[in-house]
Structure 1
Amino acid sequence: MSHPEELRRELTDGARGLLARGMITNDEWLELCDLVTGSYSFAIEQRAAELFHPASAYVVLDQSGQQAGKGSRGILAFDAAKDAPLQVKYGEGGTLQAFTGPAFNYLSGSIQGLVLTMENGRRFTLVEVGRYLRGGEYVEAITDPDGFRLLLDMIEVAHEAGNVARARHLERRAEVSPFRVCPSCRANFATQYDCAQCTGLGFIRVTV
C-alpha cells in the first residue's frame, strides 16, 4: 500500500457519507471505522518494516562510515561504552522507533529506511549483514551483484519447474540483500535490457 494515509481518509469519508445518507447505522459506522484504523495501522507497520527487519543482523555505521556498533534481532549495541543499547520496536503511529533504558521504555530515536536518527541529532546507517530465516537458519547477506543475478536465475528455474517451495525459499533468500528486483521491468527478459531504471540488470540497489 503506497499511500495509507490517503486511503484511510478516502475510506473514512466514504463511510461518513454512507452514515449521512442513512445507509448504515451508527454501530455499523463505528465497526467500519475500526476496520479502517486496523488496516491503516497494519499498512504503516508494513511500510516501516520494508527495509528494517527484526530478524536481521546489522553493522551500525556512523556518519563518517566507521563501524559504531552491531545489531541483531532488534537490539542495537554500540562499541562506545557510554552509548546504551537500543531496542527497535513500533512506537506511536506504527513508526519504527529506538528505545533505551532498563526496560527499553525511553524514546531515544527513530528509524526511517535503514537510517537511525537519535533524539540528539546523531545519525547512523544500518547495513544488513545477515538474517535468520524461518526455522532458525542464518544466512549472510548477498552483496555481490553477480551472486544476486544468479539467485534470480535460480528462482526463475524453480518456477518453471513448478517447484513452488524451492522458489519461495530462494525468494526469501533474495530479500537478504541490498538489491531488489527492478520495479520497472520486473527482470522480464522482454523489457529488461532496455530498462532505464536498472540499465539492463533486472535489479536495483535500494540500500548501502
Structure 2
Amino acid sequence: MKAELAEWHALLNKRRELMISPDYHCRTLSEGARGMLARGVIDAGEWFELAELVTAAYSFAVEERASELFHPASQYLVQDQGLARVGSCTRSVLAFDADRRSPLSITHGEDGKLHAYGGPAFSWLSGTIEGLTLVMENGRRFELVEVGRYIEGGVFVQTITDPESFRLLLDVIEHAQEDGAAVRAKHLQARAEVSVFCLCPACRDHFAKREECSRCEGRGFVDRVGQTRPSAAS
C-alpha cells in the first residue's frame, strides 16, 4: 500500500478522534481522499471506496454518540451506591467533594468509549463511563444524575422531572410545528431532551394512538431508560 494511502487509513482508524468530533474527523478524511485523487495517488474507483468508508465511519460515530447517555454539556450530581452526593460534574469535568483539586476529565479514549482520566494533563485512566455509571479502576461505582444542561446559546436549563410540565412542553412543541415555526420547535425539542422523560417509542405521542397505548398508558411519554431522577436531598 502506498505510504500516503496507508497514513489515510491510519487516520480513519483513530476511533478517539472520530468519536470526539465526527464532522471534523470525516471532513479531514474526505479532504485527504480528494487530495490523493487530484495528485494521482489513487484513481476514481479507489476514491469512491474511500468515500464509502468515510460515510460508514460517520454513520457509526453518530449512532454511537446517540446511544450514549452521558452528555458533555450537562451538569450532573455524582452519587455513591447509597445515593449520597459525593461530587459533581459540569461540562465533562468531574470532581469529588472530598478532593476537588484532583478532577477527572470525561472524554473518549483510543477505543472510542467514554472514560474518565485524571492526573497530569488528564493522562491517567481512572475509570469508564457505562451509561450514566462511573466505574473506577478500583471497582467503585458512582451514579451520574443529570440536573441540567447548557443548550443552544449557552443557556442553562434544569432537568424536567415533573410529568405535567413535560406534557405541557410536548403540547407547545406540537403547536409550534402546526404553526410552521420550525426554529422554535427545534429549540423546544432540545429543551425536551433535558428531562427524565422521553417520547413513547410505541405511539410517539400520536393522538390517534396515544389514548390506547399500553406502553405509556395514554401519556404519550415514558421514563427515560438509564436516567435517575435528582433527589431533593441532593
TM over 0.5: yes
What is the match of residue 231 of structure 2?
none
Question: Aligned pair 1:197/2:215, yes or no?
Answer: yes
Shift of 1:200: 1.4
- How many residue pairs get matched? 183
Any conservation in 2 of the 1:45–1:95 contact (CA below 8 Å)?
no
Question: Aligned pair 1:54/2:77, yes or no?
Answer: no
Any conservation in 2 of the 1:89–1:96 contact (CA below 8 Å)?
yes
- How is 1:34-183 mapped onto 2 (pairs within 5 angstroms)? 34-48=54-68, 51-81=69-99, 84-183=102-201
Question: Structure 1 residues 164 and 119 mapped into 2: Cα distance closer, same or farther (>3 Å)?
Answer: same
Q: Distance in 2 between matches of 1:80 and 1:171?
A: 37
Aligned residue type for 2:63? A
Any conservation in 2 of the 1:41–1:93 contact (CA below 8 Å)?
no
Question: Structure 1 residues 67 and 162 mapped into 2: Cα distance closer, same or farther (>3 Å)?
Answer: same
Gaps of 5+ in 2: 1-43, 229-234
Determine which structure has greater relative contact order: mean sequence separation of CA pairs < 8 Å that are 6+ residues apart, divided by chain length. Answer: 2
Gaps of 5+ in 1: 1-23
TM-superposition CA deviations, 1:56-103 (whole Å, max 9, x none)? 111111100101111101101111128932111011332111111121
Any conservation in 2 of the 1:45–1:94 contact (CA below 8 Å)?
no
Shift of 1:36: 3.0
Shift of 1:33: 4.0
Report % sequence identity. 49
Shift of 1:110: 1.1
* TM-score normalised to structure 2 length: 0.72
TM-superposition CA deviations, 1:120-164 (whole Å, max 9, x none)? 111111111111111111111111111111100111111111111
Question: Structure 1 residues 63 and 181 mapped into 2: Cα distance closer, same or farther (>3 Å)?
Answer: same
